[in-house]
Amino acid sequence: MTYDPNQLPPLFHIDVVASSSEGAPVSGGDKGDWIIALLRQLATGQDRQNKLLEQILQQTNAVYRRRQAELGQWRQANLQLAQRCKRAAETLSRVQNEFLERLTNEIADSEDSLLDGDFMLYEFVDQFGPRLAQLNGLLQVLSQLSCQPDDTVTPP
């Protein structure tokens, strides 16, 4: 039995003959009006996008300012702890630099084996990845808690 594509009904049908004014060709005088209408639609859409982006920016800034105010209040209430967090962050930053030095040396020393085999790459990631991620997380928390209230940082 051979396959005949004409035996099966089509899944869908596309009508290429336009029956509405949407797809009808535009006469010579109406082309300018049609282009102007499209440009107005584009301008309206861009205005709406700009308003939405402004609202998103205002909301993001409000969240950032509220977070900064909360951190400032916490620092004022826990001044000694904030100072200890600052010293800890400075120490942890030095630890992070040494860790990154070891990591980059390891990469330089085992470049060929990292490129050649997945096993060595997975071992490398297992060895350095979790520690680096945890170290970065700790450093970020300590840095945020240790910032002085008079530090002026602009929102992202």
- Domain ranges in the chain are 43-77, 79-149
Express each pLDDT in 63-94 by its tens digit.
999 999 999 899 999 999 999 999 999 999 99
- CB-based burial of residue 89 (10 Å sphere; 0-12 exposed, 13-18 middle, 19+ buried)? buried
pLDDT score at 152: 45
- CB-based burial of residue 142 (10 Å sphere; 0-12 exposed, 13-18 middle, 19+ buried)? buried
Express each pLDDT in 26-62 by its tens digit.
555 588 889 999 999 999 999 999 999 999 999 999 9
